[in-house]
Amino acid sequence: MVLVVACNAAEKPPVESAARPPAPLPTHSNPASEVADAAPPHAARPVEGGVPRFDAYAWASARGIDPAAEKITIEGACRAVTLGDPPRDALWCEGGIPVFQTTGGESVFPLVVLDVDQGHLRQLLRAPLYAGALDFDTIYVRLSATLAADGRSIAVSERPEQTCAKARADAKKLISSPVDAPGLRDWLTAIDHACAGVAHYVWRGGRFVKSR
């Protein structure tokens, strides 16, 4: 079975905008509590437009997994998918604990894919997906992640409406003062780390690996 990590039903999805400069790093003792989307098993699931959000914890529990006892955590906004060869159930999650963070709080959030193997969660892929402020108010750049119809490859690419070059140019327009140079540097660094995630992943040896 395959799981993709990044499920946190307690947070609203980020709003893409370049309308504000980078935010200072919050002084939280546990940053994960700010970005995890998967609510604990006993928590009521948020409802949007009358439709409950996908419950990744329930998905795992139905497969004999106790999410609270796992070394791998389920975070972000998740959905169930079928992938691999032979095909298996998996979780596809976007967001969660940052895979990179600057001292100023600019963060890079991942795409995480998980499955179930021998009664435990197993990570099949963890790749940069988007950059933004830790508080999720703003996304500086977001890549597009697409699972192939046969479930055996994942393409992570730039989006035509928001390329990496455009994100860098927008940041430089918004932060032009020499006084704000450190903030601009952090912002651009986060964008570069996210854009490094552009790649094509193929199913090989029971997981996804970068092909180019």
- Domains of the chain, residue spans: 3-210
Number of H helices, E strands in the chain: 4, 13
Mean pLDDT (the chain, rounded): 80
Identify which has the larger pLDDT, 156 or 174. 156
Question: pTM score, two decimals?
Answer: 0.75
| Residue 4, beta-bridge partner list | 113
pLDDT for 144 beyond 80? yes
Tokens for 134?
């830790």
What is the Cα–Cα distance from 41 to 80, expressed in whole angstroms?
17
Q: Cα 70–75–81 angle (5° rounding)? A: 90
Radius of gyration of the chain (CA): 17
Characterize 111-130 residue by residue with b for buried, 16 or more Cβ atoms within 10 angstroms of its Cβ, and e for exposed: bbbbbbbeeebbbbbbbbbb
Q: How many CA atoms lie within 13 A of 209 on its CB side?
A: 5
pLDDT average, residue stretch 177-194: 91
Lowest mean pLDDT among 34-38, 83-87, 122-126, 196-200: 34-38
Helix (H) or strand (E) holding 201: strand 199-204
The pLDDT tens digits for 56-101 are: 999 999 999 999 999 999 999 999 999 999 999 999 999 989 999 9
* Ramachandran sector of residue 74 (left: φ over 0; alpha: ψ -120 to 50; beta: rest): beta
**Per-residue tokens: 81:** 């998918």
Least confident piece of the model among 17-21, 157-161, 183-187, 199-203 = 17-21
E strand map for 28-74: 47-48, 51-52
Question: Rounded to the nearest 5 degrees, what angle is found at the Cα of 92, between the Cα atoms of 18 and 191?
Answer: 25
